[in-house]
């Protein structure tokens, strides 16, 4: 029987802050550019001075202590009690751009797309004006961080997802800060009463599609590790939120009406895609008379035209690239999480080269597709 485990996941791994970064002993083929389409940074900067005066007493506050980094947003802790901060956020490259570039260079990574570590927790707040102020401060902070290494680090700005009348202006602000992409929550919290398939949000989708900025969604926005096996169960379930989201965006006609919209489903792996496409196409064919709106083409068409998915290591998915599309897949290290490739990046990259039919296909997956999508040099 063929194992489903990659060359990395065959034994317990050290926590990220304890991993060594070995020298590269097997160089990748000439002409390979490696871009992590999924990496994280830690928002350790001061929010207070970037917030409007009337929100400064509620500004997100972070501090390092003996247990690592502690952060509160509007008085609510964003700490994960199941995993101490020093274990999962202990690499200095999370908040020091110089150290980070040294580390990714040693790992053979040329550029990174950066996601937040803590700030997606702001979506749980019920004050939308406050959320917007936090997002604005975060985006400025991330832009400053990336500006320290502009050829290597590329952040994704947090985008307002609840007020479609503001989307165009927000996108202009984001582009002016130099961002090449945006991020929204995969599932808006229930209290927001925001539904991505609502007609009222059509101006938002249109503005994003016309902006040329790819839209990313990321796993793991909520975390509940209560009870026996709660931590592991939550993590496994968190890796699979995108079947529903892809179906929603497709069947609602959002991709069809906005052909310029490019969506990245981040860190959910790629093995989910073939079964999701089959099921969506089957439903499309079986219930065609009841479809609202009517789609001009099967759902799988919109996957290949509009969508991408990222993975860290996904041997099952790599064996199904003919069903997923080599042009729709991107590798990401997930620096510096426990499930990340940190310390094993070269193995993770070679798994891609060993699984693909050609060097050219592998080069697309480990960097070329990201380079094209986000317009990187």
Q: What is the DSSP letter of 266?
A: E
- What end-to-end distance do the CA atoms of the chain give, in Å? 42
Q: Is residue 26 part of a domain?
A: no
Hey, is 221 helix, strand or coil? coil
Q: Are 288 and 338 in contact (CB under 8 A)?
A: no
* Residue 238: domain span: 39-45+102-374
Q: Is residue 193 part of a domain?
A: yes
In CATH, what number is assigned to the domain containing residue 210? 3.20.20.140
CA atoms within a 13 Å half-sphere pointing along the CA-CB vector of 358: 5
Q: Which two tokens stand for residue 241?
A: 């939120």
Q: Is residue 208 part of a domain?
A: yes
Q: What is the pLDDT of residue 1?
A: 43
Would you say the C-alpha torsion 203, 206, 208, 211 has a positive or negative sign? negative
Q: Is residue 25 part of a domain?
A: no
Q: Which two tokens stand for residue 60?
A: 């997100």
Give CA–CA dist 375/95, Å, rounded.
25
Q: Are 28 and 353 in contact (CB under 8 A)?
A: yes
Q: What is the pLDDT of residue 223?
A: 64
Q: Is residue 282 part of a domain?
A: yes
Give CA–CA dist 159/180, Å, rounded.
12
Give kind and range of the element (H or E) at residue 293. Answer: none
Note down pLDDT in tens along the chain; length 377 residues: 445 556 665 678 888 888 999 988 899 999 999 999 999 999 988 899 999 999 999 999 988 887 788 888 998 888 877 677 766 778 999 999 999 999 999 999 999 999 999 998 888 899 999 999 999 999 999 999 999 999 999 999 999 999 999 999 999 999 999 999 999 999 999 999 999 999 999 999 999 999 999 999 999 776 666 778 877 887 787 777 899 999 999 999 999 999 999 999 999 999 999 999 999 999 999 999 999 999 999 999 999 999 999 999 999 999 999 999 999 999 999 999 989 999 999 999 999 999 999 999 999 999 999 999 999 99
Q: Which two tokens stand for residue 236?
A: 């496994």
- The CA-based angle 41-43-47, given to 5 degrees, is 155
Give CA–CA dist 309/330, Å, rounded.
6
Q: What is the pLDDT of residue 335?
A: 96
Hey, is 245 helix, strand or coil? helix
Give CA–CA dist 346/118, Å, rounded.
28
CB atoms within 10 A of CB 376: 17
Q: Is residue 187 part of a domain?
A: yes
CA-atom Rg of the chain in angstroms = 20
Number of domains in the chain: 1
Q: Which residues contact 171 (CB under 8 A, 6 or more apart)?
A: 159, 182, 207, 208, 211, 213
Q: Is residue 8 part of a domain?
A: no
Give CA–CA dist 224/207, Å, rounded.
34
Q: Which residues contact 214 (CB under 8 A, 6 or more apart)?
A: 180, 181, 182, 262, 263, 264, 308, 373, 374
Residue 233 to residues 87, 224, 239, 264, 284: CA-CA distances in angstroms?
Answer: 19, 9, 10, 24, 32
Give CA–CA dist 156/237, Å, rounded.
24
Q: Is residue 67 part of a domain?
A: no
């Amino acid at each position: 029987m063929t194992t489903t485990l990659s060359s990395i996941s065959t034994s317990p791994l050290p926590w990220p802050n304890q991993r060594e970064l070995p020298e590269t002993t097997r160089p990748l083929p000439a002409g390979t550019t490696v871009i992590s389409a999924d990496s994280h940074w830690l928002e350790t900067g001061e929010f207070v001075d970037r917030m409007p005066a009337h929100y400064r007493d509620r500004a997100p506050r972070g501090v390092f202590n003996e247990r690592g980094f502690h952060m509160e947003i509007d008085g609510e802790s964003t700490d994960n009690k199941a995993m101490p901060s020093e274990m999962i956020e202990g690499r200095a490259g999370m908040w020091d751009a110089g150290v980070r570039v040294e580390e990714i260079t040693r790992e053979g990574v040329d550029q990174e797309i950066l996601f937040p570590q803590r700030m997606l927790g702001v979506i749980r707040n019920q004050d939308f004006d406050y959320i917007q102020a936090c997002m604005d401060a975060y985006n400025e902070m991330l832009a400053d961080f990336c500006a320290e290494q502009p050829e290597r680090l590329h952040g994704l700005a947090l985008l307002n997802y609840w007020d479609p009348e503001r989307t165009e202006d927000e996108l202009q602000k984001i582009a002016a800060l130099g961002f090449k992409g945006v991020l929204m929550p995969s599932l808006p919290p229930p209290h927001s009463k925001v539904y991505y398939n609502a007609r009222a949000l059509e101006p938002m989708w249109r503005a994003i599609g016309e902006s040329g900025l790819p839209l990313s969604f990321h796993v793991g926005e909520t975390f509940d590790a209560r009870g026996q096996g709660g931590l592991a169960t939550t993590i496994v379930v968190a890796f699979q939120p995108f079947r529903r989201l892809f179906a929603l965006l497709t069947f609602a006609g959002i991709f069809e009406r906005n052909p310029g919209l490019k969506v990245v489903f981040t860190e959910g792996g790629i093995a989910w895609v073939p079964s999701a496409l089959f099921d969506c196409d089957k439903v499309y064919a079986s219930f065609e008379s009841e479809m609202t709106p009517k789609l001009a083409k099967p759902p799988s068409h919109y996957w290949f035209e509009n969508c991408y998915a990222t993975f860290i290591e996904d041997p099952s998915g790599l064996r199904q690239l003919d069903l997923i599309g080599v042009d729709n897949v991107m590798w990401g290290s997930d620096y510096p999480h426990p499930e990340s490739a940190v310390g094993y990046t070269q193995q993770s990259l070679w798994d891609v080269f060993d699984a693909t039919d050609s060097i050219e296909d592998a080069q697309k997956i480990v960097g070329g597709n990201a380079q094209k999508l986000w317009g990187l040099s």
